[in-house]
């Protein structure tokens, strides 16, 4: 019989690491499964092995993860890297997590589960976004962190803190940034003003953010108020076409990096049938959870950006809170001051989430970006364009899941990760319903590809 | 197709031999397969099975499945999640192109 863990954490980013430290220090048996080859998540990716030159380019927020990473590596928990979780289900003993480790199928049992798998970039469906030479800003940063690779020349397109951070890092590394095409609607700045009060509760971050924005605006050709983007080129990218104040411009380039914020991943929680909610402020689906991370399914918690987007600092606190919540659920006697720390941290979670409202409002994606042009490929995997989707919805399709069966959109290899949100948008717009009423794409196993041999072996626990 | 659009940040990186489409190449050893292909100038790594259009790696985080290539004979592997190893054989799926 396989070991039954007290706590299984999926993801070794700030949230997952903090939760694992908290629970393993209390004496619980903890297992951490992570997709990457080294711990740190996306924010501290490869931090343990990064070269000095890389760390200096990536800046102080990257290096800030060192103490947490060291504490995690010293913690008394089981940690497996390069793990692909392909299935999760409820089990008589709690939960069964099926994964592929080094080509072999392995199943793990646990009584409690923490989903700390982080977020993904909001898909930015503009015409030509599927051409070779278009990457995401997140991809640009991953290349810098894990491979020390950077483009010679690039155009950055979109909106959001990550785009500006990448611009800063690329500038320090000596990359020629031809332009930043900023899609942030000008009205966002007005709408964000009331949120300044919230932002001021986290003054250090606010100051850093303002500084970052100003520096890029001064040092890089910065074009704001951009709309109607189109990536040009036949077989690969040759340029970007965009509109500013009703005038159309062209910029030549071979590499484009897109970004319009990040959204929570919900696949695993959906697989466990946790309740979902539409977050209007962050414009994405997320797992319904309380401040301690408890979802609608007993024994399942979420923490970090996989729950709701809040950044690394908040993720780390949420992870700690989730871990503490788990420990209080056991007969283990905690030191007297833990309850106080727990209350304080839960307050910090609420406060930082409120402060995040400023970023959410300021960088709320432009509405036209959720209304792709007819010829735009919405589902990259199955090559389905917006026109096809609109016509099927118009002919009486009930929702995204029926749409999937009619058009194959969302049925490809990425399992709707790159199109799901935009499909929901298109259904909501065409049927004139609010997003909260349109269900998200349903999720089915396997969460990542698995061959038949692996599947057959996985039936034996 | 063989424009070198990417630079490696570290000048003194150890090199690792790999084989791309039957051609022996040297790339910095810390790269994963998707990064190695970009480094070598391969922006596209497959053709779309329906339209035949060229596709290249996009998210580099394991979400988008655009970077699928054959690695050591095993088809449809996510290049961005696979670290290179010495003498690894990588085949892009670009039949009729190049």
Two tokens, residue A69: 């990473």
Contacts of B33 in chain A (CB under 8 A): none
Low-confidence ranges of chain B (pLDDT < 50): 1-2, 96-98
Going from the first residue of chain A to its last (461 residues), give the mean pLDDT of each consecutive group of 10, the final group possibly shorter.
90 97 96 94 91 88 93 96 94 93 91 96 96 96 94 96 95 95 96 93 89 91 95 94 96 96 95 95 95 95 95 96 93 84 94 94 95 96 96 93 95 92 95 92 90 82 54
Closest A-chain CA to B29: A147
Cα B4 to Cα A301: distance, rounded to the nearest angstrom: 45
On the CB side of A58, CA atoms within 13 Å amount to 28
CA atoms within 13 A on the CB side of A104: 5
Report residue A327 as tokens.
């420990």
Give the whole-angstrom CA distance, residue A352 versus residue A358: 11
**B83 to chain A: which residues are within 8 Å by CB?**
37
Residue of A143, A158, A262, A383 to mutate, interface with B, max B Cβ within 10 Å:
A143
Structure tokens at A200: 């001021």
Token pair 């699928």 in the structure block, residue = B68
Determine the topology of domain B17-91 in CATH: Ubiquitin-like (UB roll) (3.10.20)
Edge-to-edge strand list for the sheet holding A176-182: A134-136, A256-260, A153-159, A176-182, A222-223
Q: Helix, strand, or coil here: A226?
A: strand
Alpha-carbon torsion angle A371, A375, A379, A383, nearest 10? 180
| Closest Cβ–Cβ partner in A136, A146, A149 for B8 | A149
**Residue A132, SS3 per DSSP:** coil
Helices (H), A295-411: 312-328, 338-362, 386-394, 400-407
How high is the pLDDT of residue B1? 42
Tokens of A406: 């009619």
For position B96, what pLDDT does the model report? 44
| Nearest residue on chain B to A259, alpha-carbon basis | B59
The total of other beta-carbon atoms located within 10 Å of residue A137's CB is 25
Give the three-class secondary structure for A449. coil
The alpha carbon of residue A443 is apart from the nearest alpha carbon of chain B, in Å, by 14
Q: What is the ipTM of this complex?
A: 0.93
pLDDT at A457: 83
Chain A residue with Cα closest to B58:
A135
Nearest C-alpha of chain A: how many angstroms from B44? Answer: 5
Cβ pairs A/B, distance under 8 A: 129
Note whether A417 contacts B54, CB cutoff 8 Å: no
Q: Do A54 and B9 touch (CB under 8 A)?
A: yes
Q: How far apart are alpha carbons B65 and B80 in whole angstroms?
A: 9
Question: Taking the model in full, what pTM does it have?
Answer: 0.94
A251 touches A155 (CB < 8 A): yes
- Which of A137, A139, A171, A234 to mutate to probe the B interface, most B CBs <10 Å? A139
Under 8 Å between Cβ of B81 and B65: no
Nearest to A412 by CA among A367, A437, A381: A381
């Amino acid at each position: 019989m396989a070991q039954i863990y007290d706590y299984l954490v999926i993801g070794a980013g700030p949230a997952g690491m903090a939760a694992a430290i908290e629970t393993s220090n209390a004496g619980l048996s903890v297992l951490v499964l992570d997709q990457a080859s080294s711990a740190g998540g996306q924010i501290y990716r490869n931090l343990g092995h990064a070269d000095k030159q890389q760390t200096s380019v990536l800046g102080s927020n990257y290096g800030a993860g060192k103490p947490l990473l060291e504490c995690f590596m010293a913690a008394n928990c089981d940690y497996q890297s390069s793990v692909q979780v392909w299935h999760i289900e409820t089990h008589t003993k709690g939960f069964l997590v099926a994964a592929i480790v080094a080509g072999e199928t392995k199943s793990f049992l646990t009584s409690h589960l923490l989903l700390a798998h982080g977020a993904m970039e909001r898909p930015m469906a503009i015409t030509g976004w599927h051409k070779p030479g278009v990457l995401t800003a997140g991809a640009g940063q991953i290349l810098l962190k894990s491979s020390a690779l950077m483009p010679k020349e690039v155009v950055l397109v979109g909106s959001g803190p990550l785009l500006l951070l990448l611009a800063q890092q690329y500038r320090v590394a000596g990359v020629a940034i031809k332009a930043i095409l900023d899609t942030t609607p000008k009205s966002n700045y007005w709408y964000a003003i009331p949120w300044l009060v919230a932002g001021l509760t986290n003054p250090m971050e606010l100051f850093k953010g303002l500084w970052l924005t100003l520096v890029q605006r001064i040092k890089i050709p910065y074009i704001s108020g951009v709309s109607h983007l189109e990536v040009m080129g036949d077989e690969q990218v040759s340029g970007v076409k965009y509109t500013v104040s009703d005038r159309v411009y062209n910029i030549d380039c071979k590499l484009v990096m897109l970004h319009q914020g990040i959204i929570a991943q919900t696949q695993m929680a959906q697989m466990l049938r946790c309740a979902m909610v539409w977050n209007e402020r962050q414009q994405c689906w997320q797992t319904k959870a309380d401040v301690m991370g408890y979802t609608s399914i007993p024994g399942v918690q979420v923490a970090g950006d996989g729950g709701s987007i809040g950044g690394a600092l908040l993720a780390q606190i949420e992870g700690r809170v989730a871990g503490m919540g788990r420990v209080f659920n056991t007969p283990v006697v905690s030191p007297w001051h833990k309850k106080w720390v727990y209350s304080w941290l839960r307050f910090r979670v609420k406060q930082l989430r409120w402060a995040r409202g400023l970023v959410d409002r300021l960088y709320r994606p432009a509405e036209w970006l959720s209304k792709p042009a007819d010829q735009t490929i919405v589902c990259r995997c199955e090559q389905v364009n917006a026109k096809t989707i609109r016509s099927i919805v118009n002919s009486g399709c009930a929702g995204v899941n029926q749409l999937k069966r009619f058009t194959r959109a969302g049925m490809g290899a990425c399992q709707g990760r790159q199109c799901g949100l935009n499909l929901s948008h298109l259904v909501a717009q065409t049927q004139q319903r609010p997003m909260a009423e349109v269900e998200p794409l349903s999720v089915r196993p396997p969460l990542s590809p698995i061959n038949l041999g692996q599947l057959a072996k996985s039936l034996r626990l | 197709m063989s424009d070198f659009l990417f630079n490696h940040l570290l000048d003194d990186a150890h090199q690792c031999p790999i084989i791309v489409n039957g051609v022996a190449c040297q790339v910095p050893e810390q790269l994963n397969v998707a990064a190695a292909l970009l480094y070598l100038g391969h922006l596209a790594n497959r053709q779309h099975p329906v339209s035949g259009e060229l596709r290249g790696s996009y998210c580099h985080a394991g979400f988008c499945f655009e970077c699928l290539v054959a690695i050591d004979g095993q088809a449809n592997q996510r290049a961005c999640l696979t670290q290179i190893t010495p003498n690894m054989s990588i085949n892009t799926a670009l039949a009729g192109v190049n």
